[in-house]
């Protein structure tokens, strides 16, 4: 699967916003960047809390920025974490992304740094197959 011409800018923004992560408990910093249908980029970092369960994932923060800017569709995204491994989204974030994506929305994962990065790309339907969404709620779905 291909990356788009927006990939480099998304990577730059995800790397930058990862430096803003507030993660004093896990020390695991995450950056995410999503591209909306009009090719605007929205990025977010994880925001932890002393009440651990209140933690906001980077994807949720980026998605909140996209939706509160009036956008409804993620067409491409990137997620990266600390360390040398890929940072696949947690289950909750997969469902959050799925709400605002077509099945073929591409999410890229990046590990490594500089010139030696490795990219893995999956669609949201690969990340969250046979998922629950508006079509399962016809009375609500038809109004979206
Ligand atoms: N985290 C994210 O930001 N996104 C994910 O999809 C997985 C986990 C954050 C939450 C927490 O601040 C840290 O990573 C460790 O779980």
- Ligand 1 cavity residues, CB under 6 Å: 23, 26, 28, 30, 46, 48, 55, 57-59, 89-90, 93
Sign of CA dihedral 127, 132, 136, 137: negative
Confirm if 34 and 77 have CB atoms less than 8 A apart.
yes
How confident is the model at residue 140, as a pLDDT? 65
Which position among 9, 59, 76, 126 bears the catalytic label? 59
Domains along the chain with CATH numbers: 7-127 (3.40.140.10)
Catalytic (active site) residue 84: no
Confirm if 63 and 97 have CB atoms less than 8 A apart.
yes
Nearest atom in ligand 1 to 25's CA? 12
* Strands 31-36 and 41-45, bridge-based pairing: antiparallel
Each residue's pLDDT tens digit in the chain (144 positions)?
568 999 999 999 999 999 999 999 999 999 999 999 999 999 999 999 999 999 999 999 999 999 999 999 999 999 999 988 999 999 999 999 999 999 999 999 999 988 899 999 999 999 999 999 988 887 766 666
pTM over 0.85: yes
Nearest atom in ligand 1 to 92's CA? 6
Which stretch of DSSP H or E encloses residue 101? strand 101-111
**Which pair of structure tokens corresponds to residue 9?**
């800018």
How confident is the model at residue 123, as a pLDDT? 98
Indicate which residue's Cα is closest to atom 13 of ligand 1.
28
């Amino acid at each position: 699967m291909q990356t788009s011409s927006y990939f480099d800018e998304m990577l730059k923004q995800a790397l930058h916003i990862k430096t803003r992560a507030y993660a004093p408990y896990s020390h695991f910093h995450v950056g995410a960047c999503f591209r909306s249908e009009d090719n605007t980029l929205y990025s977010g970092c994880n925001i932890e809390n002393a009440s651990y369960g209140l933690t906001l994932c980077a994807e949720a923060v980026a998605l909140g920025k996209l939706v509160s800017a009036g956008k409804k569709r993620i067409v491409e995204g990137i997620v990266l974490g600390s360390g040398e491994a890929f940072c696949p989204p947690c289950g909750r974030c997969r469902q959050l992304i799925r709400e605002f994506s077509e099945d073929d929305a591409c999410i890229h994962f990046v590990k490594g740094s500089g010139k030696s990065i490795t990219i893995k790309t999956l669609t949201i339907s690969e990340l969250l197959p046979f998922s629950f969404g508006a079509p399962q709620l016809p009375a609500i779905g038809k109004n979206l």
